[in-house]
Every structure is written in C-alpha cells, then in structure tokens.
Structure 1
Amino acid sequence: MPSGHANAGYRRLFDRSGLTFGAGFPLTGTNRSTPDPEAEIELAKHAESVGFDGLWARDVPTYWPKFGDAGQTFDTWPWLSHVAAHTDEIALGTSSVVLPLRHPLHVAKSAATVDRLSDGRLVLGVASGDRDPEYPAFDVDPDSRGELFRESVEALRTVWREDYPELEDRWGRLEGDLDVVPNPTEETIPLLPTGNSRQSDEWIAEHGDGWLFYHLPESTLESYIRQWREATADKPFAIAIRVELADDPAAGPEPLHLGFRAGVEWYRDYFRRLEGYGLDHAIVGLQNDDRERAFETFAAEIIERV
C-alpha cells in the first residue's frame, strides 16, 4: 500500500502491494539471559539476505521472571545501532518502546540517532507497557499511563518537527532556547501505537502512522483490520506472531502462546488469508531450534510464495 511516508524503513515495510515479513529479536531465542551478540548479528544478516524486510527489537527495561522473558536483553538504542552497522537496507523497528517509562527527550534523541546512523531505516512501535512492577520502579503512576503516552507522542512530534521548540507538560518545560539534536532523516520518525496503548481507536487512527498488534484469533484480527480500514484507509496494520515450523509440510496448526506450530503449507494459506483481510506486515518470532534453517525455509516456502 502506498504510505506517503518518506522514512526508508517505513517504505521498506509498507510501500509494497503485498504482505511483508519481519523477524523479532532475540533471533536465537535466548530471552531469559543475555544472548550471544555475534550469533544474533549473524542471524540478522541471514534474515536480510533471504528476504525478510524488518528486524524488530523489544523495549524491556527490567527483567521480571514472572512475565517470562527479558526481551533481547540489550538496551534498545545501542542494540539497534549495532544491528544497523551490520545490515544494509532492512527496516529496523521497536516493538515497542514503553513511552511512560522513558523521558520523551531521551527517546527523541536516541531514536533520531539510530535513524541517522541507519540512513532512515527506523520505525517506532510505541506502547504504554504491561509489566506491573516497572511502574513503581520508575516512580510512574500506572493509572496515568494513557495520558503519559499521549503527552509523550506529542512531545516527540514537536521536538522532531520544530527547531528550538516551546513545550510544557508533566515531563518538563522547553522555552525555545534549547534544541534536541540530531534531527531524524525525515520530518518525523513513524510511530505505530501497539495494542490499544490505553487510547481510543479514533486517537490511534489520527495520531499513529500505523497500528501494531499482538497475535489475535483470526476472526478477531479480521474484524480489527476491517474497523481500521474504515477509520483510515491508507495507514498500515501489523501484527507479531510466534511461528514454529513443523517437519511435516502438511501439518495442521497446534496453538502456541501467541502463535502456532504448523507446516509450511498451512502457513502459506494462513498468511494469504491475512493478506486478504488487509494485513500489511507480520513480525515473526521463529521458535525452531535450528534458526538459520528456519529462516531459510520460511523465506523460501512462505515469503516467496505468499
């Protein structure tokens, strides 16, 4: 779908007529301890070489064992800068930056830095967060998440678009004598609210450059995309889904947490249906032990044939 956004990463993901695919870090599957950065980078380069269009890093400030994982462990911004240095054209995304836990001026500067270092490949998924103990750890009232999220989005847009901006909110005050540099490669970095982010659908349609969602039952996803198309015909819809490829290409689906285990034939039909509903991008979390082979198989049997 034509996006109209000049950001190179956004164009890579969404300026195409069909469904595109990304991969979510940690690519090696190590999400409770620190993954091997060399192995992660090798898989990132491999994913780009076989045809994936995006690489997505999660923002998990602290490790809460009850929740089950620590994301890719490494902090989002230096990690994506490292990935940018070892890849060429693949889009780099966050899925997603927890805005109420980060000062928007820090987010604005860090994101613009990664965007510059990657030649405009950064796309920002943004969220209100869902790990309960993190809010008192950062002295944030969890009941204020929705308002903080909106204020942060407004602050990001303002400091990216204006030189020496004037802005006042609960985060602080800018009086026109300070600037936030560097600037992004384009006027703004694309923002994709994640889930509901404690906002109305109307707010997300007006203020987001797309909508990023979690895995949903197929009928629910179809309904969400239909409603999204009614609200905004030209902004993309993306999901994240866990995928385990069965050895039998004809194997039917078995449910996983936020995804399925199934053969490539079922997955081809599944993603063709989602494309028919209007899905623009799928962030795939591959669960197979042999990740290099899984990337090759997914690319050859699904990406190239969907």
Structure 2
Amino acid sequence: MYLGVLAGLTKTITLGVASLVLPQRHAAQVAKAAASIDVLSGGRLVLGVASGDRPEEYPAINRGFDDRGERFRESVEYIKRMMQGYGQINNSFGHVNGTLDLLPKPHKERFPMMITGGSQQSPNWGAEHLDGLITYPRSPKIQAHVVDSYRSRVNTFTKRSKPVMQPLYIDIDANDNSPVSPIHLGVRCGVNSLLDYLLVLRDSGVNHVALNLRFNRSPVEETLQKLSEMVLPHFHFDDFSHQTILNKEGMNG
C-alpha cells in the first residue's frame, strides 16, 4: 500500500523494495503485487529479494527455515514465469499449465529483481539469475573486492553489466568536516567527509547507496537539507528504469 501511494505521488524516482523475504510469501501474491506497483509507477519498481535470516520468524507462519534456500529459488522461477503470458510452472508454490494467466503484467517486459546478500544461493546462481546485487556495507577497499568478484561472475553469463547496491546508516555531525568513524553498518561524520566517503564507494564500483537516518542524532530536516545541497549534486543520476537496470549499469550515486 505504501508503494502504491508513492507511485501516485511521484513521477521519476525509482521505487525500491529492500527486501522481500520470498520463502515467507506465496510467489503468486508477490508477482501480482509487484506487477501492480510496476504498472502504477510506469515501470519504476526495483524489487529486492532475500531468503531471510531470522529463524524465529518461520515457525510463526508455519514455514520451514532449513529449506528456505530452495523455496527462494522456486519463488524466483515462479515470479519470472508468471511475468510471461500464460506461463507454465510446477514447483512447491503451485502448478500452472499455461491455461491460466496472472494479471497485471509488468509495465514493460519485466521488473528487475536484486538478490540480497547470498540468500542461501551459490554466488554463480545469484550472478546468473538475478538482475543485480544488494550487499552489506563494508570498508571501500573490501567492498571493491566484493564488487569485482560479483562482476567477474556476471561476466561468465552475460555481457550486460549488473548494478551493485548497498545500505549505509549515517549519523551526520554538526561539524561538516568531522572525520569518518564507524557505527553499526554505517558511519558517523560530517557531511563533507560523507561526500568523500561516497565518492570512494562509487570509484570502488558501487552504483547506489541507500542512506538510512535511523542512528542520526541531528534534526532530520537539517540533515536532509545538507544532503540535498552538499552531497547529491556531486552525483549523476541516470535513468533507473527497466531498460537501464536490465541492459546497462544503474545509477552512479
């Protein structure tokens, strides 16, 4: 519902989900909901998908934790098949023999899906079957190695580049030049130091960074103003529509 509201209130921004835990949901419902948002937004959905890593959640919905990797693969397969007209599939999520269609269809050929972490899959499987990688924040040097390894695997399956994204918790100091210090899954620093940090991440091959203000101690509006004036203008945002993410690298920011 939240994405539906955003689809109606915005015109150009990408609408991302990070991330749907596929083994906890029926693949048909995921496919239908995601396609609906994609249509409403004019093809701006990027769907992050994951296998889930919290064992306590699975008994609450009567799902097995140990087989979540297999269910993740089957869900991805089901969703992809249902994006096609009268697709055929037979796995643990159900049997469709080509006489039943699922509507609506995505705005274009399909919406992109990004694998989150490993999702209980081999690195090669993720590089081959999904449209990009959502990975955990790391130091730029280590992240560069992760990106290079991922893209090397992608290149064995396709000539098309696939984007890499990461989250980053930030706590922006009142001193704009305060140096970077680590916090949980992120950094505490001044806005100028954040800019330098993001530029290094970009040079390491990261295409998109999702900034999270959960641990930010400064007033939110003040922080957003600084980010909009002192950080965002330094990055070039390409079109992040389906054609971009399916055929070439995504944003450089």
Q: Normalising by structure 1, report the TM-score.
A: 0.72
Aligned length: 228
Provide the rounded CA distance (Å) in 1 between the counterparts of 2:41 and 2:3: 9
**How much has 1:111 moved relative to structure 2?**
0.3
Partner of 2:139: 217
- Tell whether the 8 Å contact from 2:180 to 2:188 is kept in structure 1 after alignment: yes
Find the counterpart in structure 2 of residue 242 from structure 1.
169
Superposition RMSD in Å: 1.3
Question: Cα distance 1:249–1:289, how it changes in 2: closer, same or farther (>3 A)?
Answer: closer
Q: How high is the TM-score relative to the length of structure 2?
A: 0.86
Q: 2: distance between equivalents of 1:185 and 1:289?
A: 40
Moved over 3 A (4+): none
Q: Does 1:275 align with 2:183?
A: no
What residue in structure 1 maps to residue 76 of structure 2? 153
Q: Which residue of 2 aligns with 1:120?
A: 43
CA shift, 1:295, in A, is: 1.5
Amino acid at match of 2:9: H
Q: 2:151 pairs with 195, 211, 229, which one?
A: 229
Structure 2 distance, partners of 1:150, 1:196, is 12
Tell me what 1:284 maps to.
211
- The 8 Å contact of residues 288 and 294 in structure 1, kept in 2 or not, is answered as no
Question: Is 1:300 matched up with 2:223?
Answer: no
166, 173, 182: which one aligns with 1:255:
182
**Cross-structure match for 1:44:** none
* More contact order relative to length (CA 8 Å, sep ≥ 6): 1
In structure 1, list runs of 5 or more residues that go unmatched. 1-77
* Equivalent position SS for 1:304: helix
Which one of 32, 46, 70 corresponds to residue 109 of structure 1?
32
Contact 2:78 2:93 in 1 (8 A): no
Alpha-carbon distance in structure 2 between the residues aligned to 1:117 and 1:305: 31
CA–CA distance in structure 1, aligned partners of residues 9 and 136 of structure 2: 28
- Counterpart secondary structure, 2:52: coil
Give the whole-Å Cα distance in 2 for the aligned partners of 1:105 and 1:229: 30
Quote the sequence identity (%). 37
SS at match of 1:274: helix
Q: Report the equivalent of 2:53.
A: 130
Pairing partner for 2:116 from 194, 197, 213: 194
